[in-house]
Amino acid sequence: MSITYLEAIREAQARALAEDPRVFIYGQDVGDFGGAFKATKNLSKEFPGRVIDAPISEDAIIGAAIGAALEGMRPIIEMQFADFSTVGFNQIVNQAATHFWRTRVPCPITVRLPSGGTAGSGPFHSQSMEAIYATYPGLIVMTPATVEDVYSMLLEAVAIDDPVIFCEHKYLYYHLKAEKLPTEALPVGKARIARPGRDLTIVAYSAMVHEALACAEELVSEGTEVEVVDLRSIKPLDTDTVLASVARTGRLLAVGEAWPWGGVTAEVVARVASEGFGLLDAPPKRFNSKETPIPFHPNLWGTHRPTANSIAAAVRELLRY
Amino acid sequence: MAQGAVQTIKENGQEAVRDKYLRAYRWMLLARIAEEKYANLYRGGKIFGGVFISKGQEALSAAVGVSLRKGDVFAPLIRDQAGRFAFGESVLDATRTYLGSSLGPMRGRDGNVHRGNPGEGYLAMISHLGAMISVVNGALMAKRFKGITDAVGATCLGDGGTSTGAFHEAMNLAAVEKLPLVMVVANNQYAYSTPNSRQFACRDLVDRAAGYGVAGHSVDGTDLEKCLRVVGNAVDRARRGGGPQLIVATLLRLCGHGEHDDAGYVDPGLKASKIGLDCMNIAEECILKNQWATAEELAAWRTSALLQIDEAVAITQREPAPDPSKEDWCALASRHLIDTYLTE
């Protein structure tokens, strides 16, 4: 038996609905249709009245989730694509993120954002929004890279008292498989060494973990051993694990699929530069997508985002320093 | 005031009508006096930020507050001091928030009208107009999940707020879900300085009700008796399963947007018209004409309200201001995540 990343999302939601009567799912086409990606397949039948179709109203969907959470519910919201969360942005960053700090009443909503690029998806169905949300105090931002993490972290997101932005990567939905669902997991806020190595640390998250791992594999033939750190959540961000890795390798390349300006990779570089300056044998670097909207055509898209090949080129350059 | 504007009220259950009217009037009076005090404190430099008063809108707001009951949800906006008091907010909580006391419900973290007690169904507004409507929707959905079928949710907005996407999305969602939402729009003719002619082009905002498939009600917002009747009926209809109710009240804001604003843009013709009447005067005349209270009793109520406000201000002024060294500077409820959450 094997289970995909997407099926793990569905299974986590099924378990949350089964175990916690406070949980309900709200979003566009999530009901009998089962969601645009089928992440809620059959859930409306298994849990009648608790998996509800919403009108195309991202602001009102998030607002309603907030109101329900304040009344003691644990809503899971599916934004059909992360890109459309911009229309619900106000409710997320001004209402949900500020609520506990202002009133002492927590706002436990989980907002699932089908994130990141896939071939042919273009500028409005491919975005990586994690850094924008991470800048707002009060939000937790999860970026699971594995089948095991997407399952355990989604359950943890529902259990957490704070609003959680859950960035699940669409590129991993069908590609990524595991033998079985996990029975234990690292807590949120803990990064993971996805591959040990001695020469250089790549810090990545979400789909880029897999590009980094493929890059590391490619570089073995050149005698280079790359260590890959999977951040798992970008807020909280496990700086200690990153610094410990850089202490071993002396070199940092932070890789993200999002745009470079002021993002997660910039944050990782800033932390390593300020807290681990003495550990570095070379300038800490970042590697991101190109700074344009995300192109539609696969030829352009394949170059716009970091890939194993382009990351390897960046690694080679950093090793030459 | 206009000749014959106040009719003697004679209907069945007159005592209940009188009691509700007087209760609402006393919340209006307390709100008017409290806000006059806050405005004075602001002018004296004792209040940071701003003061936003309800002058001219107290009757409508009080009518909303007294039509609700414990277990309902209320998301007031900036000109709802009377409704807030009627829904259960204490004078001390309001005063503490305006003066920034560390003992107030917002503890100096937020101020003036941005306050509430969400655990009691009294939601704390954010500044973005229309944003609270869908939150009330969600609270009502939660109550339905929990099997509570006799609660309603009310929220207030101005004419300007109806131009937002949030208003449209939330009204439509409430209609789709058939929620017991009471949406109260105070059409006070100006959104800050912008007149209705630059805000919307429909004949009357209440016409929008049909577009959403919800019930629409118009009311003269200067007249407490009419506000109580129309708002009360709408709340009852929502409570009985009649779905969302849109109320549009016509009135005039008799003050600036905030106390920093002299409202020099308000058309003198509107001020002189019927909608420019002060709801407090209309209510007092109605009370006297119906002999529900004497002029002496009205004066005694005013004195009592003044004392209440003065006492709250005196208490609050002795209370500690927020201390930055005692603030934990963390917005997270999940205390176990703080170590890795904060950026050094």
What residue ranges define each of the domains in chain A, with the CATH number in brackets? 3-178 (3.40.50.970), 192-319 (3.40.50.920)
- Rounded mean pLDDT, A15-22: 98
B144-168 average pLDDT score: 98
For residue A313, CA distances in Å to A208, A220, A253, B198, B247 come to 15, 14, 11, 57, 64
Q: Is residue B164 part of a domain?
A: yes
Q: Is residue B9 part of a domain?
A: no
Mean pLDDT of A81-94: 98
Q: pLDDT band for A136, please (50, 70, 90 cuts).
A: very high
Is B68 at the interface with chain A, CB within 8 A? Answer: no
In this predicted structure, the answer to whether residue A268 has a pLDDT above a threshold of 70 is: yes
* Residue B254 identity: L
Q: Does B323 touch chain A (CB under 8 A)?
A: no
Please give the structure tokens belonging to residue B343: 């950026």
Whether B4 shows a pLDDT value over 60: the answer reads no
- Cβ contact (<8 Å) for A65 and B138? yes
Average pLDDT over residues A250-277: 98
Query: What's the average model confidence in pLDDT over A109-134?
Result: 97
Domain interval for residue B176? 14-341
Cβ contact B114:B124 at 8 Å: yes
Q: What's the whole-number mean pLDDT along residues A12-40?
A: 98
Say if the Cβ atoms of B138 and A138 lie within 8 Å. no
Spatial distance between the Cα atoms of A17 and A46, rounded to a whole number of angstroms? 9
Terminal C-alpha separation, chain A: 46
d(CA B316, CA B314): 6
- B329 reaches A (C-beta below 8 A): no
| For residue B158, pLDDT beyond 50 | yes
B11-59 confidence digits (pLDDT tens) = 567 899 999 999 999 999 999 999 999 999 999 999 999 999 999 999 9
| pLDDT tens by residue, A287-301 | 999 999 999 999 999
Indicate the average pLDDT of chain B: 95
Respond yes or no on whether the N-terminal peptide bond of residue A123 is cis (omega within 30° of 0). no
Please state, in angstroms and rounded to a whole number, the distance separating the CA atoms of residues B139 and B244. Answer: 14
Nearest to B333 among A95, A106, A236 (CB): A106
Whether residue B8 lies inside any domain: the answer is no
Return the pLDDT at A160: 97
Q: List the structure tokens of B179.
A: 């929620």
Query: Which pLDDT score is estimated for B287?
Result: 98
* Sheet strands (E) in A73-196: 74-78, 110-115, 140-142, 164-169, 177-178, 192-195
| Residue A117: band (very low, low, confident or very high) from pLDDT cuts 50, 70, 90 | very high
Q: Which residues contact B159 (CB under 8 A, 6 or more apart)?
A: B185, B186, B187, B188, B189, B190, B191, B196, B199, B200, B205
The chain-wide mean pLDDT, for chain A, equals 98
Tokens 């009133």 found at: A103
Residue A9's Cβ-side half-sphere holds a number of Cα atoms within 13 Å equal to 31
Instruction: Give how many domains chain B has, as a whole number.
Output: 1
Residues 6+ apart with CB under 8 A from B179: B137, B140, B141, B144, B153, B173, B243, B244
Counting every residue written for chain A, the total comes to: 321
The pLDDT, as a whole number, for residue B339 is 86
Averaged pLDDT, A114-125: 96
Residue B73 DSSP SS3: strand
Asked whether residue B119 is domain-assigned, the answer is: yes
Whether A60 and B142 lie within 8 Å, measured CB to CB: no
Q: Give the count of Cβ contacts less than 8 A between chain A and B.
A: 161
- Asked if A63 reaches chain B (Cβ–Cβ under 8 Å), the answer is yes
Closest CA of chain B from A284, distance in Å? 18
B147–chain A Cβ distance below 8 A for any pair: no
> Residue B308 — φ and ψ, nearest 5°?
-60, -45
Say if B246 falls within a structural domain: yes
Q: Would you say residue B209 lies in a domain?
A: yes
Distance from CA of A72 to the nearest CA of B (A): 8
Please, which pLDDT band fits residue B252 given cuts at 50, 70 and 90?
very high
Supply the pLDDT for residue B7. 56
Q: Which amino acid is at A246?
A: V
Which of B169, B172, B179, B328 is most worth mutating to test chain A (most A CB atoms within 10 A of its CB)?
Answer: B169
Asked if pLDDT for residue B62 goes beyond 60, the answer is yes
| In-domain check, residue B5 | no
Q: What is the pLDDT of residues B180-211, one digit of tens each?
A: 999 999 999 999 999 999 999 999 999 999 99
Residue B3 has pLDDT above 70, yes or no: no
Position B78 in a domain = yes
Residue B173 with chain A: CB contacts under 8 Å: 54-55, 57, 60-61, 64
Residue B335 CA to residue A161 CA, distance in Å, equals 10
Predicted TM-score (pTM) of the model is 0.96
Cα distances from B237 to residues A53, A111, B194, B232, in angstroms, run 26, 34, 33, 9
Under 8 Å between Cβ of B306 and B299: no
Is there a catalytic annotation at residue A175? Answer: no
Whether residues A102 and B137 touch (CB distance < 8 A) is answered with no
**Residues found in chain B:** 344
Count helices and strands (H / E) in chain B.
Answer: 12, 7
Q: What is the mean pLDDT of residues B215-229?
A: 98
In A, minimum Cα distance to B111 occurs at A102
Question: Would the pLDDT of B2 be above 80?
Answer: no
Percentage of residues of chain A with pLDDT beyond 90: 99
The pLDDT value recorded for residue B344 is 76
Q: What percent of chain B has pLDDT over 90?
A: 93
Tell me how far CA of residue A52 lies from CA of A30, A32, B258, in angstroms.
6, 9, 41
Distance of CA B230 to the CA centre of its chain: 16
* pLDDT tier for residue A1 given thresholds of 50, 70 and 90: confident
Range with the poorest average pLDDT among A188-192, A249-253, A312-316, B14-18: B14-18
Mean of the pLDDT values across residues A160-187? 96
- H-helix or E-strand spanning residue A53: strand A51-53
CA distance A83 to A61: 15
Q: Which pairing describes strands B194-195 and B190-191: parallel, antiparallel, or unpaired?
A: antiparallel
Mean pLDDT of A87-107: 98
Residue B246 belongs to domain with CATH number: 3.40.50.970
What does the pLDDT look like over A53-73, one tens digit per residue?
999 999 999 999 999 999 999
Reply yes or no on whether the pLDDT at B9 is more than 70: no
A162 contacts in chain B (CB < 8 Å): 332-334, 337
Residue B1, pLDDT score: 41
